[in-house]
Amino acid sequence: MNEENIYANLTQLGGESKLPTSPEEAVLERVRNPQQGTGYLVRFTAPEFTSLCPITGQPDFAHLMIDYVPGDWLVESKSLKLFLGSFRNHGAFHEDCTVSIGKKLEEFLKPQWLRIGGYWYPRGGIPIDVFYQSGPAPAGVWIPEQGVPPYRGRG
Amino acid sequence: MNEENIYANLTQLGGESKLPTSPEEAVLERVRNPQQGTGYLVRFTAPEFTSLCPITGQPDFAHLMIDYVPGDWLVESKSLKLFLGSFRNHGAFHEDCTVSIGKKLEEFLKPQWLRIGGYWYPRGGIPIDVFYQSGPAPAGVWIPEQGVPPYRGRG
Amino acid sequence: MNEENIYANLTQLGGESKLPTSPEEAVLERVRNPQQGTGYLVRFTAPEFTSLCPITGQPDFAHLMIDYVPGDWLVESKSLKLFLGSFRNHGAFHEDCTVSIGKKLEEFLKPQWLRIGGYWYPRGGIPIDVFYQSGPAPAGVWIPEQGVPPYRGRG
Amino acid sequence: MNEENIYANLTQLGGESKLPTSPEEAVLERVRNPQQGTGYLVRFTAPEFTSLCPITGQPDFAHLMIDYVPGDWLVESKSLKLFLGSFRNHGAFHEDCTVSIGKKLEEFLKPQWLRIGGYWYPRGGIPIDVFYQSGPAPAGVWIPEQGVPPYRGRG
Amino acid sequence: MNEENIYANLTQLGGESKLPTSPEEAVLERVRNPQQGTGYLVRFTAPEFTSLCPITGQPDFAHLMIDYVPGDWLVESKSLKLFLGSFRNHGAFHEDCTVSIGKKLEEFLKPQWLRIGGYWYPRGGIPIDVFYQSGPAPAGVWIPEQGVPPYRGRG
Amino acid sequence: MNEENIYANLTQLGGESKLPTSPEEAVLERVRNPQQGTGYLVRFTAPEFTSLCPITGQPDFAHLMIDYVPGDWLVESKSLKLFLGSFRNHGAFHEDCTVSIGKKLEEFLKPQWLRIGGYWYPRGGIPIDVFYQSGPAPAGVWIPEQGVPPYRGRG
Amino acid sequence: MNEENIYANLTQLGGESKLPTSPEEAVLERVRNPQQGTGYLVRFTAPEFTSLCPITGQPDFAHLMIDYVPGDWLVESKSLKLFLGSFRNHGAFHEDCTVSIGKKLEEFLKPQWLRIGGYWYPRGGIPIDVFYQSGPAPAGVWIPEQGVPPYRGRG
Amino acid sequence: MNEENIYANLTQLGGESKLPTSPEEAVLERVRNPQQGTGYLVRFTAPEFTSLCPITGQPDFAHLMIDYVPGDWLVESKSLKLFLGSFRNHGAFHEDCTVSIGKKLEEFLKPQWLRIGGYWYPRGGIPIDVFYQSGPAPAGVWIPEQGVPPYRGRG
Amino acid sequence: MNEENIYANLTQLGGESKLPTSPEEAVLERVRNPQQGTGYLVRFTAPEFTSLCPITGQPDFAHLMIDYVPGDWLVESKSLKLFLGSFRNHGAFHEDCTVSIGKKLEEFLKPQWLRIGGYWYPRGGIPIDVFYQSGPAPAGVWIPEQGVPPYRGRG
Amino acid sequence: MNEENIYANLTQLGGESKLPTSPEEAVLERVRNPQQGTGYLVRFTAPEFTSLCPITGQPDFAHLMIDYVPGDWLVESKSLKLFLGSFRNHGAFHEDCTVSIGKKLEEFLKPQWLRIGGYWYPRGGIPIDVFYQSGPAPAGVWIPEQGVPPYRGRG
Ligand SMILES: [Ca+2]
Ligand SMILES: [Ca+2]
Ligand SMILES: [Ca+2]
Ligand SMILES: [Ca+2]
Ligand SMILES: [Ca+2]
Ligand SMILES: [Ca+2]
Ligand SMILES: [Ca+2]
Ligand SMILES: [Ca+2]
Ligand SMILES: [Ca+2]
Ligand SMILES: [Ca+2]
Ligand SMILES: [Ca+2]
Ligand SMILES: [Ca+2]
Ligand SMILES: [Ca+2]
Ligand SMILES: [Ca+2]
Ligand SMILES: [Ca+2]
Ligand SMILES: [Ca+2]
């Protein structure tokens, strides 16, 4: 198994990196896909996403799930975590924010395929979920459901 | 089993009663406890309670659970349903509303014991639950937990 | 283990018994407690109880759970099943019916202790649960919660 | 991310809007889709829908889920909430009401695709669910299951 | 929304109807589909179905779910409830009974499509489920899974 | 409904049959399919299957689910139960045993289609599941998922 | 019900308040307990709490639940929400932070009793929960379990 | 930690032991409690218990949970497994069998305290649970609930 | 059933094998597929997988699920367990490790089809799942979902 | 809030520490309790504990939960994680190992009270749980249940 040297050029792994203050400041990093030529799915689950409402400045929260079929690159997971953390004090609407994160990763990783599910916490009693994918799922790759249970209110 | 004539004086059971327009207009009814002298618990679960916020006029929703140990009386369940339905266009704060419903039933039914759990739907991301009981639970009567699961947000 | 001859006097076990047409016609049977002098709990779960509403004649349904600490007798389980089945075409209110079944078993089995939980299906959106026990639970006997989850409406 | 000015023409966002007294009085609002040309799904979950039975005047309750793939427009979420709230004192049958809400949104938003699931609370022990979509789901867009668990009665 | 007069010819809605004593005696009723020309799904969940075993006379229980895509007609829900209730003292095998109910509704409602899932309670430790549909699901109509969890035994 | 005489030739239904001592000794029985010409699915869930490990002689346990679309025959359920019970003292490997049971039923019932899921209890911490079907599912017949949740280890 | 004027002196309710930049800047507000002299429990569930790690500056997340039995005062829920939101960019250790929030509310509300449960998201695979109460629960007041399920890892 | 030599006298650990043909033939083994003088609880969960009905010879199944506070001895777990497996072809009633297993272990281990919960699979639709303990739980030892969820029938 | 002699050439089954110290040292074994020519699925669930992080040396944990449709061979389950156990002190990244295990089995077993799901425990709050399959699932073979629920954080 | 300098003397926090090769080599660290004089509970959940069987050398797995009421000290969480990780290649029996970890922490932290629950993965189908506490829970401190659901086998 040929994993050992693909992480050589990374700058954030190891030491304690500071949380970037905005998505623009965040630096996504990538490593060579050690299983290039193989169609497989990688899933990240980020139950701790938070941003600010651009109108009221109040915090919003989301549970994000990101699925992708790598092409030449894997996203380095610590840089992804810092990128997601960089929305902490950034204003963003639910629909646009979710799709934008998906497209940003799509552009950076040039995966065979990518999708993102944004499960936002309720505001005014009616939560919003947003689902985006880069195109039809590639034939022959296994893409399980994300399976997040629906919101139920109380009781 | 001696049940057949305790419902003779009821006015709302049978025909289709109109929803009362306010809690004051609603008429609670009661029947003789057919198991008088026995300590037992009756539980009503009302997952469809709704009232209005007295400040904004927006609707609020709650899942209510009412437990009582009857004394001389049982509440007639259709009149209870109409009483709870009468809050539909009534302004009420969560804490006061829940406790007031409990006290109203306590006064009317003179039960050996009564409690109410109000599980309100989230507003601003932080739901409120309110728990009231008329006093310590009577010794020797079986009082199971209400067991409503805690609110979890999304994801 | 001394179990083999306690079932000698039973009349319903073995052949296919007909469903009794009323609770009065049903014949409860009991066998000697093979562990007399020992405090232990027996629990029956009957998710298929049904009776009729004495006012409208419509069917009612309940999930019943019966717990008892035997004295000299165990209830024979097939006769219990037939007894519960005998309410199929019998009119009965929720509160009285649940408590009456508990008391009938109490009288017949003279257990050290008994309780019954009646979890009735919703009518008009507000289900009723009824909880009865014969007295305080005997000290030193293990009495686990019945643990039926609360009714949730839809969603 | 280009989100900041699409909300400029809204009239209800910000101040406290009154609940409209009927669906006809309610004013749906829409904003430009900031991700136009991209196929993605937006899901609203409204566990607090309530209307009146047109025959008996009794309240009905439903858990609604609305999925749509935006075209040129996004629905503004506060106006959607007020629109759904406007059914509070309006008479409506389950099947027709659910489909009508779907069609009203379809007409107003001209989405690429829309569906609505209406999960109504039980009446008479038998709940009704209603499922409507505007046509076959667009190819290549990710459409997860709504995943509402089936009704189970009690126990 | 054009719902108000489609219920004019019904005979059972309103007053308290008696439970029919057999499926033959039961009278299904139907109303004009107010959304004719639209493909949508209606789901009934009946967790309280009960019939008798034709060989032993013992009660059987089932959780039934009925899905249909209406054509010209909707089934009137109270008449459906009475029809299902009419099996209370009727002998019926699991496989045949489930399919027969589906076919009876198919014949009466002439829907675009119909299916029924019968989830029967365990007898002898091995429950039977029966699944029937009138044909392939119509293209472009949304048909969610029924989602009843499988039987698990104890523990 | 034409069910009453299809059970006339059965030998095991009614009296208390002895558990067969091996699969070879067990006698499967079948009855005429009362809904011949109709494509529908019958599901048996057997959470109590047990056999012996052919190498160590230790007991193995499985939760079996059998789905089939009947042709001319239905399996008689008591004979199926006795057939499954006959593996109690029989040595069998997980993969072969599960598939063999499926094939035996396939041969005997000549169904339009059959599948079996064998969910075996963990040995050495790693449970085995085995899934077999007789061929592609017949078009137009409704085949719901078996939906057994995955093994989770502890905690 | 005497609720209408207890909110007169509030400064944050109504308009859109800005998120305070630190706990010190946040202003908790309180209203007269409209049910003074009655022992009842109020529960807030805050699944969206977030602060920063004082050593690494990385975000931490917690699900907080606060229970209290009011004395003369109720906490105004919007000010509580802003107070909790003010930890967003504040450094805090898990144990100290949870207990400090509890004590701050205790000091401000002078309740009959208060407790807080802090359920922190995993770091390094081992989550921390912190449980604090102001003293023994007052006799005769109903204090249900918070009921948050334990962390389970994956699978 | 002083664990290494307490297993020296065991006869069954290591090689593949044959399943004993009856409870009488089974040999329970015990080892010195390495934490003597400390009150702690050991719990065994046996989801694979099976015996025969002494009247019909049909297999019965149970999920057993055994809790004990050791005195001088721990039960050796492989011998416990073989002891439980030895009921495979043994006739036993539910109540007596569960209590007898508890008493047998009590006699053999002379624990400070012991309890057993027997959760039997349904027969005739009504499962039996049996709960026995050797006496009041010792003060100061932690005894968590067994927490087996109640039987729910189908649906 | 023709199972008995296919295990004749195995070297690890029976005695207590030592855990191999690396994946290279581990010896996978295989037996003739006793149901050759039949398309069926075998699933292994391994909730106890652990390896080391190649950068920090800290332990990582995963819940693995492996599905395959056998060709000429079945994997011998004990050798699979030892192979998985051999990663205990081996450095491996999540994505590469999961895919490599899948490919190793694919190469060794030459199955008709194989897939692996790796559900890794959270590190830094964001768990990774990895899903690989050898190609499109073979037509006509039954491939149920793995159904592992998504990670939920806390609360 | 007075948290900032209590971490000054720690040696392992910050850099990447190596996993200690045995429990003896591991160095637990502690910090001053910043809330001294206050009774509160701290809970650690470690779903990733693994050790070796001292007889067979095979890996064992456990889900550990540790609750304590601090005295003068808090355990530093990274050192706790390394301590637990140090059992990775250490032989340990379930009962003794669980209790020993509890006592080691008790001795080191001198808490007001401590308990540990060890939920071990099944071996031979019968998992063992071990529960230890240092003495009766201190009066007036809130001690919630650990709430780990019981093992269920398969299906
Ligand atoms: Ca799939
Ligand atoms: Ca209790
Ligand atoms: Ca959450
Ligand atoms: Ca208890
Ligand atoms: Ca609900
Ligand atoms: Ca899908
Ligand atoms: Ca049920
Ligand atoms: Ca679907
Ligand atoms: Ca089970
Ligand atoms: Ca399907
Ligand atoms: Ca309580
Ligand atoms: Ca786990
Ligand atoms: Ca306890
Ligand atoms: Ca499938
Ligand atoms: Ca407690
Ligand atoms: Ca399990």
Q: How far is the centre of ligand 8, averaged over its atoms, from the C-alpha of D147 (Å)?
A: 10
CA distance D38 to A129: 16
Structure tokens at D131: 């499922």
Cβ–Cβ of H59/F18 closer than 8 Å? no
The 10s digit of each residue's pLDDT in C34-69 is 999 999 999 999 999 999 999 889 999 999 999 999
pLDDT tier for residue G2 given thresholds of 50, 70 and 90: very low
Residue-by-residue DSSP string for A86-105: TTTT-B--HHHHHHHHHHHH
CA distance B4 to F43: 44
Query: Has residue G24 been placed in a domain?
Result: no
CA distance D68 to D40: 8
For chain E, the average pLDDT equals: 92
H-state helical runs in B39-115: 77-85, 94-109
A9 contacts chain I (CB < 8 A): no
- Residue window 34-93, chain F: list those with CB within 8 Å of chain E: 34-35, 38, 40-48, 63, 65, 70, 74, 77-78, 80-81, 84
- Coil/strand/helix, residue E65: strand
pLDDT in the model for residue G54:
92
Structure tokens at H38: 């400390």
- Rg of chain A on CA atoms, in Å: 16
Is the pLDDT score of E86 beyond 60? Answer: yes
- Coil/strand/helix, residue G152: coil
- Coil/strand/helix, residue B79: helix
The 10s digit of each residue's pLDDT in D53-67 is 998 899 999 999 999
Domain count, chain D: 1
Could you tell me which of H131, C2, I145, E91 has the C-alpha nearest to residue F146?
Answer: I145
Is the pLDDT score of G12 beyond 90? Answer: no
Tell me whether residue H72 is one of the annotated catalytic residues: no
Q: How far is the centre of ligand 11, averaged over its atoms, from the C-alpha of B145 (Å)?
A: 6
Strands annotated E in chain F: 30-32, 40-52, 59-69, 73-75, 113-120, 128-133
**Amino acid identity, residue I29?**
E
Query: Has residue E146 been placed in a domain?
Result: no
CA distance F93 to I3: 7
Query: Has residue B86 been placed in a domain?
Result: yes
CA distance H83 to H64: 13
| Nearby residues of J5 by Cβ (< 8 Å), 6 or more positions away | none
Which of residues G12 and E26 earns the better pLDDT score?
E26
Query: Has residue B96 been placed in a domain?
Result: yes
pLDDT in the model for residue C17:
79
C14 contacts chain A (CB < 8 A): no
CA distance D128 to E75: 11
CATH of the domain at C36: 3.30.1130.10
Cα torsion angle, C101, C107, C109, C113, sign? positive
% of residues, chain J, pLDDT over 90: 81
Query: Has residue G117 been placed in a domain?
Result: yes
pLDDT in the model for residue J13:
62
H152 contacts chain D (CB < 8 A): yes
CA distance I105 to I26: 12
Is the pLDDT score of G140 beyond 60? Answer: yes
% of residues, chain I, pLDDT over 90: 81
CA distance B30 to B83: 13
Identify whether the C-beta of residue G44 lies closer than 8 Å to the C-beta of residue G80: yes
Domain that holds residue E103: 30-133
CA distance F15 to E11: 47
The HSE-up count of residue C61 (CA atoms within 13 Å, CB side) is: 23
Is the pLDDT score of C80 beyond 80? Answer: yes
The 10s digit of each residue's pLDDT in E102-136 is 999 999 999 999 999 999 999 888 999 999 999 99
Phi, psi of F119 (to 5 degrees): -110, 100
Identify whether the C-beta of residue J64 lies closer than 8 Å to the C-beta of residue G152: no
Identify whether the C-beta of residue G37 lies closer than 8 Å to the C-beta of residue G59: no
pLDDT in the model for residue C2:
44
Structure tokens at A132: 């985006």
Residue-by-residue DSSP string for D66-97: EEEE-SSEEE-HHHHHHHHHTTTT-B--HHHH
The 10s digit of each residue's pLDDT in H79-118 is 999 999 999 999 989 999 999 999 999 999 999 999 999 9
CA distance J141 to G102: 14
Is the pLDDT score of E9 beyond 80? Answer: no
pLDDT in the model for residue A25:
96
The answer to which of H16-20, H133-137, J51-55 has the lowest mean pLDDT is H16-20
- Rounded mean pLDDT of B45-70? 95
Cβ–Cβ of D140/A135 closer than 8 Å? yes
Question: Which of B142, B145, B146, B151 has the most C C-beta neighbours within 10 Å, making it the best mutation to test the interface with C?
Answer: B142
The 10s digit of each residue's pLDDT in I68-83 is 999 999 999 999 999 9
**Amino acid identity, residue J93?**
F
**Amino acid identity, residue B119?**
Y
Phi, psi of I57 (to 5 degrees): 75, 0
- Rounded mean pLDDT of D120-144? 94
Query: Has residue C39 been placed in a domain?
Result: yes
pLDDT in the model for residue C124:
86
Query: Has residue B117 been placed in a domain?
Result: yes
The 10s digit of each residue's pLDDT in J8-59 is 667 776 566 788 999 999 999 999 999 999 999 999 999 999 999 998 889 9
Kindly list the residues from chain B whose CB atom is less than 8 angstroms away from the CB atom of residue D61.
47-48
| Nearby residues of H5 by Cβ (< 8 Å), 6 or more positions away | none
Please, do chains I and F touch (3+ CB pairs < 8 Å)? yes
% of residues, chain F, pLDDT over 70: 92
Q: Which residue has the tokens 């029956």?
A: C44
What separation in angstroms does the CA of C134 have from each of B37, B147, C21, C68, I138? 12, 23, 28, 9, 62
E155 contacts chain J (CB < 8 A): yes
CA distance I120 to I50: 9
Query: Has residue I149 been placed in a domain?
Result: no
**Amino acid identity, residue C119?**
Y
Could you tell me which of G41, G154, G27 has the C-alpha nearest to residue G80?
Answer: G27
- Rounded mean pLDDT of G73-81? 96
Nearest chain D Cα distance for residue B47, angstroms: 9
- Coil/strand/helix, residue F73: strand
